[in-house]
Chains A and B, each alone.
Chain A
Amino acid sequence: DAGVTQSPTHLIKTRGQHVTLRCSPISGHKSVSWYQQVLGQGPQFIFQYYEKEERGRGNFPDRFSARQFPNYSSELNVNALLLGDSALYLCASSSTGSNQPQHFGDGTRLSIL
């Protein structure tokens, strides 16, 4: 079975631009979460979506937004990019249940020039 897939793998943008990152969860998983991992740090929670509804949001500005589609895939959008947005963006999916582990994709490496 395919794992969590993310696209693109790498992306280079300039300050002020916007970006859309994509994620396809493991088949059967209805929950998708997004994390930001800055170099040298652990991942930080951005969003969680379940059944197309936002269930939780981390401490990120409104420039960050996301959505989930009927097929449970998800997009993360970031507007007005800043240098500090340079990071590895990780998508994770999980099945229903509070104790179900999250499974991560390989991430999208976003570099802001």
Chain B
Amino acid sequence: AQSVTQLDSQVPVFEEAPVELRCNYSSSVSVYLFWYVQYPNQGLQLLLKYLSGSTLVESINGFEAEFNKSQTSFHLRKPSVHISDTAEYFCAVSLYTGFQKLVFGTGTRLLVSP
């Protein structure tokens, strides 16, 4: 069975500092990997995705994630965070067995302080 582990429930960081949000997954088959962001009282927004090809994927707002098959990880990084990055971040894996189902981690709350 697939599972996703986000070890850090909360990550406090100062503005303009770098940050890494960790995600590890378990799966016996190839997977697609996603990061979603959730702002208060909103739904999930797709941040970035790994489907195939280059193991480093980037978003338009400065986040990047690297797929590491040997370590079954898909950590999210940003070299310099802003106050507006404060949100809940969810890592998810997708397995297609006739239908697509996303399995989410428990989320990491990123708290950016001035």
Contacts and interface: CB of A to CB of B under 8 A. Distances in A.
A71 to B, nearest CB: 20
A74 interface: no
9 contacts: A33-B101, A42-B107, A43-B90, A48-B101, A90-B43, A92-B44, A94-B100, A99-B96, A104-B36
A41 B100 contact: no
B99 A56 contact: yes
Interface in A76-113: 90, 92, 94, 98-107
Interface residues of B, number: 28
Interface string B88-108: 001010101111111111110
A73 B22 CA distance: 35
A35 B101 CA distance: 10
A50 B43 contact: no
A28 B93 CA distance: 24
Interface in A26-62: 31, 33, 35, 40-45, 48, 50, 55-56, 58
A44 B99 CA distance: 15
A98 to B, nearest CB: 4
B42 interface: yes
Given A90-B43, A104-B36, A104-B45, A42 B105 contact: yes
A104 B43 contact: yes
B9 to A, nearest CB: 9
A55 B44 contact: no
Nearest to A94: B100
Interface in B3-30: 4
